[in-house]
């Protein structure tokens, strides 16, 4: 009798746990869908990445990337900004800008949804943001991060989410656009 009561309690506990987990999963899924509906496509350019993304196939790890919502921004402009950020000590920029970028580069903590504006004197006046991005190796066109372009969906503005888009979805969209 005591074992039966314990089994019933355990069974009810498992059912409740499963129900709560499913409810949480649904809420997170709905939040991601809502964020995607508010988002626009952007190309992100990695500044700092977890070493696993460079060496381990299918790794899931954080990265610091930059992107701009300006539609006319060119890849070579963004590549130049990446170079300035990586060599910030030698970049032509104000002391305050260098200090802000160094502080950003020293902060290796991943914070979902965090974005910070890159100082204007490093971007040529363009509005460019640094994003904390969780990268999925399986979404990359190569086994590891070899191509420094990462397609994403991001909510425009000073805050919001950014989500990596699988390369094959982008490839199909580009193919459909050219036909």
pLDDT digits (tens, 9 = 90+) for 154-166: 999 888 889 999 9
Tokens of 122: 């490093």
What is the tens place of the pLDDT at every residue in 124-162?
A: 889 999 999 999 999 988 878 888 899 999 999 888 889
Three-state DSSP state, 91: coil
Distance of CA 151 to the CA centre of its chain: 9
Residue span of the structural domain in which 21 resides = 1-38
Q: Is residue 89 located within the same domain as residue 6?
A: no
State whether 52 and 108 are in the same domain. yes
Same domain, 118 and 90: yes
Pair 97, 145 in one domain: yes
Domain co-membership, 61 together with 141: yes
Question: How do beta strands 128-136 and 150-154 pair?
Answer: unpaired
Confidence of residue 2 (pLDDT cuts 50, 70, 90): low
Residue 63 CB-density burial (10 A; 0-12 exposed, 13-18 middle, 19+ buried): buried
| Domain match, 73 and 24 both | no
On whether both 50 and 129 belong to a single domain, the answer is: yes
pTM metric for this prediction: 0.79
- Tokens at 111, concatenated: 């914070």
| DSSP string for residues in 100-125 | HHHHHHH-----TT-EEEPPHHHHTT
The arrangement of strands across the sheet holding 150-154 comes to: 115-117, 128-136, 60-68, 40-49, 150-154, 162-164
Contacts (Cβ under 8 Å, ≥6 apart) of 83: none
CA distance 155 to 112: 13
């Amino acid at each position: 009798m005591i074992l039966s009561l314990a089994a019933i309690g355990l069974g009810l506990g498992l059912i409740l746990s499963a129900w709560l987990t499913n409810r949480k999963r649904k809420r997170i899924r709905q939040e991601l869908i809502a964020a995607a509906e508010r988002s626009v496509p952007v190309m992100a350019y990695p500044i700092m990445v977890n070493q696993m993304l460079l060496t381990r196939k299918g790794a899931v790890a954080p990265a610091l990337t930059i992107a701009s919502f300006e539609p006319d921004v060119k890849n070579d402009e963004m590549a130049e900004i990446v170079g300035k950020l990586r060599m910030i000590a030698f970049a032509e920029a104000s002391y305050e800008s260098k200090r802000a970028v160094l502080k950003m580069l020293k902060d290796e903590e991943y914070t979902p949804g965090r974005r910070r504006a890159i100082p204007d004197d490093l971007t040529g006046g363009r509005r460019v943001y640094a994003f904390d991005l969780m990268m999925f190796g399986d979404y990359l066109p190569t086994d590891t991060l070899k191509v420094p372009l990462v397609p994403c969906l991001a909510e425009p503005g000073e805050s919001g989410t950014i989500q990596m888009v699988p390369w094959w979805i982008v490839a199909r969209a580009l193919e459909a656009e050219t036909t």
